[in-house]
Structure 1
Amino acid sequence: MTAELRAERQGDCLVLRLHHPETQNTLTAALCAAVLEALTTAQRDAEIRAVVLTGTPRQFCSGLHDTAAQESLHDCILALRDCEPLVVGALEGQARGAGAALALACDLLVAAEDAQLQLTDLLLPGQDVGGAQWLAAQLLPRTVCNEAALPGLGLNAARLHQLGVVNRLCPPGFSLQTALQLVEAIPG
């Protein structure tokens, strides 16, 4: 595990916290590798019912740190999509670029009311970072994808909830708690 990812068990949940506040939680190759390792561990542990992916209190993930991370992102996205325990994203602040791809790869998404998803970097021709264009096209209407790709525009949590992308809205600072409550409410 890297210092950029903090893993903590909370009951039958594994909480993965992206923790690189100096760079607003940009994804490095090491961070992607640590997420992959943690998801593999979660799949092998029969006691883990869910994985909650979150960031620091004010920032989910602001994108890729460098091109080395871009090569690792696709594997990370596939691992999130294929993970056998349920993966719940707990979104605070912004999820930009590759961070938006991580959020969209989660099975369920909880977002603080002031959270934003910014797809600008991901929806440009030839910029399908980690399969984010495909993910966005699966979850959002084409016209909404086009809007979210315009510079300076993003999708706020209320709009994402209205579109059915976000399952639960919560006050800022409560996305992790709300995600854990959501998992707890699921029978099993």
Structure 2
Amino acid sequence: MSAELRAERQGDCLVLTLHHPESRNALTAAMCAAGLEALTTAQRDADIRAVVLTGAQGGFCSGLHQPDAQGGLHDWILALRDCEPLVVAAIEGQARGAGAALALACDLLVAAADARLQLRDPLLPWLDVGGAQWLASHLLPRPACNEAALPGFGLDAARLHTLGVVNRLCAPGLGLQTALALIGALPATGHGLHKSLPDPQAQASELHVHLAQQAGIVQAGSTS
């Protein structure tokens, strides 16, 4: 079964589904490139009100599938932060490493009761893949962020909701439905749903520098 990012219009929403079930939706370079292209398309289409990012078959994303996907992932993360219109993550099951970064880069998070956020990526555990730990450090109290980054640990959906990171909780299997309902409840403006609180310029620059540093570590390791 091939790894792919599936894009589907549901009304005025663009639904992007990470589809790589045999690896629990681990990311390939092609999937990251497709994600970046899909966001570019969404920004150009005035009929797209919001974007939903989710995973196939009861999982969100287990991390990177291959090290060479990291460059494309970084571009995708930065695009998610800058994207207009609004992007909602619908998380079921695991969101690990690269998957956690994708979720935390979105504007709103919907999580099923079985969802779990783990910041360390199993493929490159010595790196902050996708800036997952950086993003979490700007959303979570430090002790909770440390716990989510420890090997074998993580934060479940209920804890994330209590900490204010998850906007809506739902039953397993209802993540996408709940995300679409949340978008549908927001007032229509006729020009998409735009971010109410855009990233401060300094914070966006810090993330860009951080991701470049992580990429440099990988490059240095591959040439040593």
Matches of 2:141 and 2:177 in 1, distance apart?
Answer: 30
Residue of structure 2 in register with 1:161 after alignment: 161
Matches of 2:57 and 2:22 in 1, distance apart?
Answer: 13
Q: Deviating runs (4+, > 3 A) in structure 1?
A: none
Deviations along 1:24-54, one digit per CA (max 9) or x if unpaired, are 1111110000000000000000010100000
Matches of 1:19 and 1:56 in 2, distance apart?
Answer: 5
The number of residue pairs the alignment matches comes to 186
Residue of structure 2 in register with 1:140 after alignment: 140
Shift of residue 164, structure 1, vs aligned partner:
0.5
CA gap 1:28/1:14 in 2 versus in 1, 3 angstroms: same
For 2:176, the aligned partner's letter is L
Residue of structure 2 in register with 1:173 after alignment: 173
Conserved in 1, the CA contact under 8 Å of 2:97 and 2:130? no
Matches of 2:9 and 2:187 in 1, distance apart?
Answer: 19
Shift of residue 98, structure 1, vs aligned partner:
0.4
Matches of 1:40 and 1:16 in 2, distance apart?
Answer: 13
RMSD of aligned C-alpha atoms? 1.6
Ranges in structure 2 where 5+ consecutive residues have no aligned partner: 189-224
- Greater shift, 101-110 or 66-75, is seen at 66-75
Identity of aligned pairs, percent? 78
SS at structure 1 position matched to 2:121: coil
Residue of structure 2 in register with 1:108 after alignment: 108
CA gap 1:125/1:6 in 2 versus in 1, 3 angstroms: closer
Matches of 2:68 and 2:43 in 1, distance apart?
Answer: 26
For 1:154, the aligned partner's letter is G
Would you say 1:61 and 2:61 are equivalent positions? yes
TM-score of the pair, normalised by structure 2: 0.80
SS at structure 2 position matched to 1:180: helix
TM-score of the pair, normalised by structure 1: 0.94
Shift of residue 57, structure 1, vs aligned partner:
2.9
Ranges in structure 1 where 5+ consecutive residues have no aligned partner: none
Q: Return the index of the structure with the highest Cα Rg.
A: 2
Shift of residue 56, structure 1, vs aligned partner:
1.0
